[in-house]
Structure 1
């Protein structure tokens, strides 16, 4: 399965890339919202792991700008854990929401659960 990880923190990107590849997935990385939208336009992904706080666009703008017909499942992974943020992300189409810091086991279980539905 193809997964796009969108986060500006190397301390998140590098371990996630390693773990997801080890689990047998093809992984692409985006460090900005604009880079994520470009990658989504160029190819299709089964899942996107999305941070809400990015240097250029926030994750809500990315959710709103997802290309029609090529929309991946979305797991929001962010330090913004307020109920209002969760509600907004889910209303914009995210299938799951996890707050940082997170457990690796829980994250991988969420990824596999969402990919089963893809």
Structure 2
């Protein structure tokens, strides 16, 4: 059985760490990036199945990263779940319009995150 891979992109160490721990606990291969530039570098190295992408990031925000991923044909298969403290409908619409597959607002339930990530993993 193939192992799904997750790229966690969040600049808050405690959130990045807890998401990393959570995803590893589900058996996924996990990498972490703490800013938009690092996220794109990690994608160039090896595209994940699912990216958990914070909106408010240093260097490049989540919207820019999302737009860049969607503009790069070899990353077409990457599913993007945006994570943000900004829960207003306008922000969600912007994220989805730029190509995000899903949107989770902080604080989030760990069960919800696990379910959403599993939903976007390729099925064997």
Interval containing the TM-score (normalised by the shorter chain): over 0.9
Per the alignment, residue 4 of structure 1 pairs with 7
Distance 1:25 1:117 in 2: 13
* CA deviation string 1:39-60 (max 9, x = no partner): 1112121000000000111111
TM-score scaled by structure 2? 0.90
Distance 1:117 1:92 in 2: 25
The alignment covers a number of residue pairs equal to 118
Gaps of 5+ in 1: none
Cα root mean square deviation, aligned: 1.4
* CA separation of 1:60 and 1:6: change in aligned 2, threshold 3 A: same
Matches within 5 A, 1:1-118: 1-66=4-69, 67-71=72-76, 72-116=78-122
Structure 1 residue ranges, 4+ long, deviating more than 6 angstroms after superposition? none
TM-score scaled by structure 1? 0.94
Gaps of 5+ in 2: none
